[in-house]
Amino acid sequence: MEMGLYQQQSMNLVMTTELRQAIAILQVPSYELTSYLQEQALENPLIEITEPKGMFTTLKKSGRKNGVSSQSADKQSYDHLIIEQETLYDYLYKQSILLPLQEQDRKIFNYLLLSLNENGYLTVTAEETAAQFTATIANCEELISMLQKLEPTGIGARSLRECLLIQLSEQKLEHTLSYIIVDQHLELLAERKIKTLSELLNVPPQQIEEAADFLQTLDPRPGAAFSPPDEQSYLYPDVSVAVAVESGKLHISINEQYSPVLKLNDSYASLLQDKHKKSKFIDESYQKFNWLKKALEQRKETLLKITSEIVRVQEKYFHTFEKKDLIPLTLKDVADQIGVHESTVSRAVKNKVLQTSKGAVELKSFFSAKIYTQDGGSASATSAKTQIKKLIESENKLKPLSDQVLAALLEQNSGLSISRRTVAKYREELNIPSSSKRKRYS
């Protein structure tokens, strides 16, 4: 083949900056939309962002509040309203003040306190601590033992086994079956191998179960109570669905109070009218402002279309809120109805929350796989999971239902044609152990 230059026409899909921006805005939830727009405003002087009112609480003024008149309410400090949660370190440090420790030992002890993770487990060994402070391993072990005597019981453990043993020792249960199981056979207990433990320890299975039930009353994470709360304390629904009182029809609306308002900066708007002062940068910034505004409107319109289709299909559910009334719905079903691509629906429902009269739910929770019934109909995977959970809750714990039996019962009772593997998958998603681990002997 000869070498040469040839002309060839071809069509390629180009991802423009505006298209990428529209996609990004579409999949950003309300609580992140303000931050995203603020980043855009830093690059574009024509953009002005008004914070959403719904994400902030205001102090209402009254005649007198806590002995302070409303006239001086604006000038007073609100530091007294801030409630600081006591940390695990603070709680343990207060207890350690009373311990008879020398200056060097107190430094080591403080180091151990700072080496506890959020669950209260010690993340350093005695050898590492000794090397850090040029101390003896025996001395560090003694200080760790002192730490483990503080409250909450089980603090300073280096493993789950040690944590449980500390709590059992505190209750003077060193010679009980529970202590022996934790000390020697904790792995077998975790696998719920009751029969194996019964044979190893030469005791009836019922006694193993009683010991296991008691161990579940212990705290495997003694420091978790002092963990700081999740940063995202508030939920900001993107869309709301409410039932009209008079007509009983479902009304859908975008929660504008949680969405920032995009405006044109008045200080720079005058430059757009002056041809002499208007620059290429201002012109491009104005185009970007219009693109951003259009993308926000498109986001709102797409969310409304998707939610409207979900509500249309799941109308019965929004009146009863029974999971059995959920109709199987896929992303493709909604995409075909509103005339967009399936990926657009997927991006639009990502991390979005729908507010209903019974609470807030994720939009993506309304999409589930279809399960076909014997009569040619279909049911949602959510309804199948609900039925699996009910069957397991009502089963005989002495003879728990296997996945194969569950599949047969679903077909017999509801006509759902589900394989054993699908039942196992749904059961695992519900965090329900297998039949062998659910089996009880008493």
Please provide the DSSP assignment of 268-306 as one string: HHHHHH-TTT--HHHHHHHHHHHHHHHHHHHHHHHHHHH
Q: What is the pLDDT of residue 36?
A: 86
Q: How confident is the model at residue 20 (pLDDT cuts 50, 70, 90)?
A: confident
Which stretch of 182-196, 307-321, 406-420 has the lowest confidence by average pLDDT?
406-420
Q: What is the pLDDT of residue 136?
A: 93
> Which helix (DSSP H) or strand (DSSP E) does residue 150 occupy?
none
Q: What is the pLDDT of residue 129?
A: 93
Tens of pLDDT, residue by residue over 247-286, are 888 899 888 888 788 888 877 767 776 666 567 888 888 8
Calpha distance 187→125 (Å, rounded): 22
> Which helix (DSSP H) or strand (DSSP E) does residue 359 occupy?
strand 359-362
Question: Mean pLDDT over residues 138-160, rounded?
Answer: 94
Q: Is residue 215 within 8 Å of 189, Cβ to Cβ?
A: yes
Contacts 24+ apart (CB under 8 A), 146-154: 146/99, 146/109, 147/92, 147/109, 147/112, 147/113, 147/122, 150/92, 150/95, 150/96, 151/91, 151/95, 152/120, 152/219, 152/222, 152/223, 152/225, 153/219, 153/222, 154/120, 154/218, 154/219, 154/222
Q: How confident is the model at residue 60 (pLDDT cuts 50, 70, 90)?
A: very low
How would DSSP label each residue in 217-264? Answer: TS-S-TTGGGSPPPS------SEEEEE-TTT--EEEEE-GGGSPEEEE
pLDDT value at 25 more than 90: no
pLDDT value at 37 more than 90: no
pTM higher than 0.85: no
Question: Strand 239-243 vs strand 353-356: parallel, antiparallel, or unpaired?
Answer: parallel
Which stretch of 69-78, 304-313, 374-383, 409-418 has the lowest confidence by average pLDDT?
69-78
Q: Which ranges of 44-102 does DSSP label H, i.e. alpha helix?
A: 88-96
Q: What is the pLDDT of residue 112?
A: 94
From 383, 426, 419, 389, select the one nearest 404 (Cα to Cα). Answer: 419
Instruction: Considering only residues 13 and 38, tell me which one the structure prediction assigns the higher pLDDT.
Output: 38
Q: Is residue 240 within 8 Å of 355, Cβ to Cβ?
A: yes
Percent over 70 (pLDDT), the chain: 85
Q: How confident is the model at residue 70 (pLDDT cuts 50, 70, 90)?
A: very low
Q: Is residue 387 within 8 Å of 424, Cβ to Cβ?
A: no
3-state helix, strand, coil in the chain (%, to 5): 55, 10, 40
Query: What is residue 116's DSSP assignment?
Result: B
Q: What is the pLDDT of residue 95?
A: 93
Which residue's structure tokens are 């405006």? 263
